[in-house]
Structure 1
C-alpha cells in the first residue's frame, strides 16, 4: 500500500471470493429448494381453487414463461448495470411473486395466483443466473471449478426428499423398472 492509497482501497481478492462463493452456495441451496416447493404448491393451489386437475399444469407453464421473460430482463439489467443490481431485481420480483402466491391462497383468488406465479418465475431465472457469479472473482485458471461449486446445492437440497418418507425401506422399489 502506498501513501496515496487509502486503507479502504486494499482488497483481499481471495478472501472476498471465498466469502462471495459461500453466500452464493447458501443462496442456491435455499433458493433452489424454495422455488421447487413453490411451483409444486402453486399447482396444488390451482387444483384446489379450480376444483379440477384439468388445468393444474397451467401454474407450471406460467412459472416457466415468467422465468423465460425474467431471464431476458435480468440479463439485460445485469449487462447494463452489473450483476448485483440485476440479481437483486430478479430476486425482488421473485419475492413479490411469492408473496402474491401466499395472498392468492389466503384470498382464494385464482387470477392473483396465476399472475403471481408468472412473476414468481423471476426467482428461478435469477437463481439460475446467479450460479455464474461464482466465476466472477476467480482467477482465470480456477473459473470453471469456482462456477461448478455453485451448481451442486439445488439438486442436493431436493435429493433427501425420497429418503425422508415414513417408509424408507420401500422407496427404492418405486424406482425399479418393472417388466
Structure 2
C-alpha cells in the first residue's frame, strides 16, 4: 500500500514542477514582449522627431528671400549642426550678399518625406519639395522641385541636420 501512495505524490510533484517551468517561461515571454513594446515606442518617437526635424529644415532650405536673407539663413543654421551649421553662420554674410546681388527668391513646400534609416545616433530622411525660384535674370518665378537627402544627428535630444544633398 505504501507504493500506491508514493505514485500519486510523485506525479503531483512532476506536475508542480512542470507548472512552475511553464509559469517561468510565460513570465519571461511577457517581459520580452514588454521590452519589445518599449523599444518600439522609443523607435517610433525617434522616427517622428527625425521626420519633423527634416521637414522643418527642408522648409527653411526651400524658402529663402534676398529681402530677408539674414533671417532665412539663420533659420537654416538653427536646424543644422557641424559643417552645415558653420556654412550658414560663418559664410552667412557672403551668401546673403550673393542672394541680394542676384535678387534670389525661392519658395517651396514639402510634398512628402520619408525616413530611410533611424537609430539612437542618426537618421537619413528623403524629402521632396515643390516651389519656385526667381532671380535677377529670370524675373518671373520658375518651377523648382527639389529632392533632398538630409542626414540628421541627435544632439542633446534634438535632431539636427548635418548634411543636405540634392538627389535625382
Common topology (TM > 0.5): no
Q: Which has the larger share of helix? A: 1
TM-score (normalised: structure 1) = 0.27
TM-score (normalised: structure 2) = 0.29
Q: Which has the higher contact order (CA 8 A, sep 6+)?
A: 1
Q: Which has the larger share of strand? A: 2
